[in-house]
């Protein structure tokens, strides 16, 4: 594992403000009470399994501020005892100190999955991907998170269709939504595959 030093410059106000707006916007959306499919814990396990380093693959980790590291440790401890709201709160504090850290954003996305808020998880994972290296284990975790959010949305659409007959504009809109989520899922799968770069051949 390679650790790269990060500059100890002051946190840009714009980045912190943008992240706060993202978290606030996601938090204002009500979370659906009915959960479909595997448990949140199973989904997080799948996300982290997708982020396992491949043979010969570099897993670059930045050096973080000690306060950020302490908050990450506290969040991990809270998660182990299923105190998911506490874990999310500690990660929010860490992000206030380091709002552009892709790994930290991904950890917060996984905390959102555990809180059954896949819309927030997807938004955070997309932001993390935009700030990250676009390849490697962390990249795969971003896209697996996004795929799970899309899959949950697809399941809800299917549930809507099974709940009753749809026709006219309602059916047309439902068909459009189903087609879009299917396309988005396929694109996300391809993007996740693109995170894995084969090592150079050895001679």
Are residues 191 and 141 in contact, defined by beta-carbon separation less than 8 angstroms?
Answer: no
Q: How many other CB atoms are there within 10 angstroms of residue 152's CB atom?
A: 23
Residue-wise pLDDT tens digits, 36-69: 889 999 999 999 999 998 887 777 677 889 999 9
* pTM (predicted TM-score): 0.81
Through-space distance between the first and last CA atoms of the chain, rounded to whole angstroms = 24
Q: For residue 60, give the H/E element and its range.
A: strand 60-62
* Angstrom distance (rounded) from CA 181 to CA 153: 8
User: Which residue shows structure tokens 């047309």?
Assistant: 172
Residue-wise pLDDT tens digits, 94-134: 999 999 999 999 999 999 999 999 999 999 999 999 999 89
Dihedrals phi, psi of 166, to nearest 5 degrees = -120, 145
Please list the alpha-helical segments (H only) found in the chain. 13-27, 40-50, 66-80, 84-97, 102-114, 118-131, 137-163, 168-194
Say yes or no to pLDDT of 5 above 60.
no
Closest CA to 148 of 29, 75, 50, 20: 50
Task: Name the β-bridge partners of 60.
Answer: 2
Mean pLDDT on 5-27:
55
Q: How many other CB atoms are there within 10 angstroms of residue 83's CB atom?
A: 14
Q: How confident is the model at residue 7 (pLDDT cuts 50, 70, 90)?
A: very low
Distance, C-alpha 111 to centroid of its chain: 9
Which pLDDT score, from 0 to 100, does residue 23 have?
67
Q: How confident is the model at residue 2 (pLDDT cuts 50, 70, 90)?
A: very low
Least confident of 111-115, 139-143, 170-174: 170-174
Say yes or no to pLDDT of 202 above 80.
no
> What is the token pair recorded at 51?
């982020």
Q: For residue 4, give the H/E element and its range.
A: strand 2-4
């Amino acid at each position: 594992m390679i650790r790269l030093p990060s500059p100890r410059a002051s946190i840009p106000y714009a980045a912190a403000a943008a992240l706060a707006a993202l978290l606030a916007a996601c938090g204002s959306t009500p979370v659906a009470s009915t959960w479909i499919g595997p448990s949140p814990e199973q989904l997080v396990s799948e996300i982290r399994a997708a982020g396992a380093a491949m043979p010969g693959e570099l897993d670059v980790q930045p050096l973080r501020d000690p306060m950020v590291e302490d908050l990450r440790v506290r969040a991990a401890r809270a998660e182990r005892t299923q105190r998911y709201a506490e874990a999310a709160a500690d990660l929010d504090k860490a992000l206030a100190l380091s709002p552009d850290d892709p790994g930290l954003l991904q950890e917060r996305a996984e905390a959102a999955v555990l809180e059954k808020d896949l819309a927030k998880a997807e938004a955070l994972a997309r932001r993390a991907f935009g700030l990250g290296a676009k390849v490697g284990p962390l990249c795969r975790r971003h896209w697996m998170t996004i795929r799970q959010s899309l899959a949950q949305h697809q399941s809800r659409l299917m549930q809507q269709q099974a709940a009753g007959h749809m026709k006219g504009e309602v059916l047309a809109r439902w068909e459009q939504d189903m087609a879009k989520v299917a396309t988005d899922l396929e694109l996300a799968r391809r993007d996740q595959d693109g995170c894995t770069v084969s090592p150079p051949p050895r001679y």
